[in-house]
Chains A and B, each alone.
Chain A
Amino acid sequence: MNSFVVENRIWDKEETLSRNEMTALQGAKLRETVERVQNVPFYKEAFSEAGITPEKIQTLDDLHRLPFTTKTDLREQYPLRMLAVDRAEVARYHGSSGTTGTPTMVAYTQNDLKVWANLCARFLTGGGLLPKHSVQIAFGYGLFTGGFGLHYGVERVGASVIPAAAGNTPKQVMLMMDMQVDALVCTPSYALTISEFIIQNDIPHNALNLKYAHFGGEPWTEGMRTRIEDEMGILCFNNYGLSEVIGPGVSGECAVRDGMHISEDAFIVECINPDTLEPVPPGEEGELVFTSLCKEAMPIIRYRTRDIASLNPEPCACGRTTVRMSRVTGRSDDMLIIKGVNVYPSQIEQALLRVEGTAPHYLIEVDRPDRTDVATVKVEMTEESFSSSMKEMQELKDKIDRAIQGITGLRMNIELVSPNSLERFVGKAQRVTDHREKT
C-alpha cells in the first residue's frame, strides 16, 4: 500500500567512513573540544577535580577519563554559564521543553546553525527527502528545537518548507491536501491525531499526496508505526535528538529502518550501565551518553541523556558505516513523557503539597487506550481532606487537578483512593505504572 520507494541517497561522505577513519576523526575533534571547553568555568573546574589537563586527552581511548555532564549541572549553570564563546558570537538560543523549574538554555553560533541544518539534512535525505519535495512541519516553533531544527534541515536539502507549526488539525489537513504536501514532520502522537481527523472526515488517501513522515520529539513504538502507516498509507521514519546535545539531527533512520544512524563525526556516543557507569556491550541496553565534537557555542562532554537504548556497530545495508541506536525504550531516571511533555513524579508531589490535607502517597498511571496518552493520579484520602459533602469532595479533586496542571501543564485524571491502599516502599518508591507499549 506504500507505493513510495525511498531512493538510497547518502548526503555526506562522513556517513561512510571506515572505523579507523572515524576513530581518527573523532580523536582529533575531541582534542579540539577539550581545548574549547577550557573557556567554560564549569568544565575547567570539573577537569581539575578529575585531575585532567587537556594534554592528557589525545585519542578516543582517553574519553573515559573525562567527567560526565548531567541535567542538574546544566540547570545549575542556567542560563548561559555553559557558554564557551562570547555572547556576541551567539546567533540563536533554544531551550529545554521542561514546563516548570529551571529550564536549560542552549546556544548556537552561526557555524553551529550551519552544522545543525546539515545534520538534519542528512537524516532527512536518508529517509527519502528530495529537493523537489515539499515538507509540512507541524512541530512547535519556539524555544523547542524541533521546529526550527527540521525547518533549516529541509531548506538545506533544497526542498520546500510549509511551516504550519503545531496545532489546528483541520488546517494542517487542508494545507496537506491543497498544497499536495509530500512529507510530514511532527511528533508521532500528533500524527495519530491528524490521522484520526482524516478518517473521521472520510478524506480518501488519494486526496492527499503524502508519501512519508519523519517523527521525533518523543518515544514511540513499532505498533504506532504500523498503525500510522496503515491508516495514512505512508512510510514513517524515526529520528532522535535532544536540545542539550544539539536538537534533532543526532540520529535518524535510513531506508532500511533498522536503527537510527548516529552522526558520529559530530557526536561520540557511549552506552553505559547507569548504576556502574561502565560501558555495556553492543546490542545491550544502557543509558546513552553523548559528547559533541563540532559545537562552538555550547560544547558538551559526556552528557548523560537518561535515555535507554542499545547500539549496533555493524555497517548497515544502506552503505552507511555509522553506529545505529535502537528506539529509546525507557529512562534511567523517573521522567515520563506524557503527550510530549516531560513530567517528573516529584512534580506531582509538589502539587499535592500545595493542596492542604492531602497525603504524600500517590501513584501515577499512564496509558494510551487509543491515540492519546491518559494519565491518572491516585491520591490517598486522609481524615483532614475527607468531607461528608459531595460538593467539598469535588472541590478537593478540582484543587488537586489545578495544582497538577499549574506545575506540569497537563490535565490528569484524579482518583481518590482509600488510605494505605497504595503500595508502600522501603527505599526508592515506585510512583509510576506505565501501561503504554515500549517497543
Chain B
Amino acid sequence: MKLKQLSVFLENKPGRLRELCAVLAENGINIITLSLADTEQFGILRLIVKKHDQAKELLEKNGFVAKLTDVVAVEVMDEPGGLSSILKIEEESGISVEYMYAFTIKSGEKAVLLFRFDDMDKAVDALQKAGLNILGSVELYQRAEG
C-alpha cells in the first residue's frame, strides 16, 4: 500500500528547479503532485510521478541526486477536522509525521494527503485499523489521469 516518491536534492541556485522540470518534460514524464521543502542553502523536492524508476535514472544522468522514498496516500474527508483525525490516530500509535503534502485532485467529498512517517509500516497498519482508505499506486495514477 506504500507509494514511491521521488526525492531530489536541489542546491539553491537559480535555474536548478527549472532544469529538473525540463529533464522530466523532455522525456514525457508528468508530475502528479509535488512539494518543495527549502532552507536558505538547499531544498528537497518531493515528487509523485508514474515512471519513477525512469525519472530517477534520467535525473541522475543529468547530475541530480535522487532517491526513491516510501510514502503513503490517505483519503480523508474534505471537511474541518479531516486531517486532525488522521494525526490523532498516528499520535496515539506513537508515530511522528516527518512531512506531508496534499494531492492535487479530489475524489468527491474526499481529499488525498501524502504522508511520510518515521515508522511507515506501523503507520499504515494504524490507519487501516481505523478504517481509512489508503490509495495504492495503480488507483492513484488512474485518478490522476482520469
- A residues in contact (CB < 8 Å) with B: 381-383, 386-391, 393, 415-421
Contacts and interface: CB of A to CB of B under 8 A. Distances in A.
Interface in B56-113: 60, 63-67, 69, 98-99
Contacts of B116: 388-389
Interface in B30-58: 37, 39, 41-42, 44, 46
Given A381-B9, A382-B65, A388-B67, 18 more contacts: A386-B9, A386-B67, A387-B7, A388-B7, A388-B44, A388-B69, A389-B99, A389-B116, A391-B98, A393-B42, A416-B9, A416-B11, A416-B41, A416-B42, A417-B42, A418-B9, A418-B13, A418-B16
Contacts of A391: 98
Contact of A390 (B44, B60, B63, B67): B44
Contacts, number: 53
Contact of A419 (B37, B41, B46, B63): B63
Contacts of A415: 41
A395 to B, nearest CB: 12
Nearest to B11: A418
A388 B41 CA distance: 15
Nearest to B7: A388
A396 to B, nearest CB: 11
Nearest to B96: A391
Nearest to B64: A418
Contacts of B5: 388
Query: Interface majority SS on B: helix, strand, loop or mixed?
Result: strand
B37 A418 contact: no
22 contacts: A381-B9, A381-B65, A383-B60, A386-B7, A386-B65, A388-B7, A388-B98, A389-B98, A389-B99, A390-B39, A391-B98, A393-B42, A416-B9, A416-B41, A416-B42, A417-B11, A418-B63, A418-B64, A418-B65, A419-B63, A419-B65, A421-B11
Interface of B: 5, 7, 9, 11, 13, 16, 37, 39, 41-42, 44, 46, 60, 63-67, 69, 98-99, 116
Nearest to A389: B98
A420 B98 contact: no
A389 B67 CA distance: 12
B19 to A, nearest CB: 10
Contacts of B41: 415-416
B86 to A, nearest CB: 19
B65 to A, nearest CB: 5
B11 A390 contact: no
B18 to A, nearest CB: 14
Contacts of A388: 5, 7, 44, 46, 67, 69, 98-99, 116
B99 A390 contact: yes
A388 B67 CA distance: 8
Contact of B37 (A386, A390, A420, A421): A390
A389 B66 CA distance: 13
A199 B48 CA distance: 56
A383 B16 CA distance: 18
Contacts of A381: 9, 65
B16 to A, nearest CB: 8
Nearest to B16: A418
B12 to A, nearest CB: 10
Contacts of B39: 390
A391 B98 CA distance: 8
Contacts of B66: 383
B67 A383 contact: yes
A418 B12 CA distance: 10
A20 B11 CA distance: 64
B11 A393 contact: no
Contacts of A418: 9, 11, 13, 16, 63-65
Contacts of A390: 37, 39, 44, 99
Closest 5 pairs (CB-CB, A-B): A388-B7, A388-B69, A381-B65, A418-B11, A389-B98
B67 to A, nearest CB: 6
A415 B63 CA distance: 17
Nearest to A413: B41
A374 to B, nearest CB: 14
A271 B127 CA distance: 76
Contacts of A386: 7, 9, 65, 67
A398 to B, nearest CB: 13
A415 B12 CA distance: 11
B49 to A, nearest CB: 14
Contacts of B9: 381, 386, 416, 418
A382 to B, nearest CB: 7
A381 B37 CA distance: 17
A360 to B, nearest CB: 16
Contacts of B65: 381-383, 386, 418-419
Nearest to A385: B65
A113 to B, nearest CB: 51
Contacts of B44: 388-390, 393
Contacts of B60: 383
Nearest to B45: A388
A49 B13 CA distance: 57
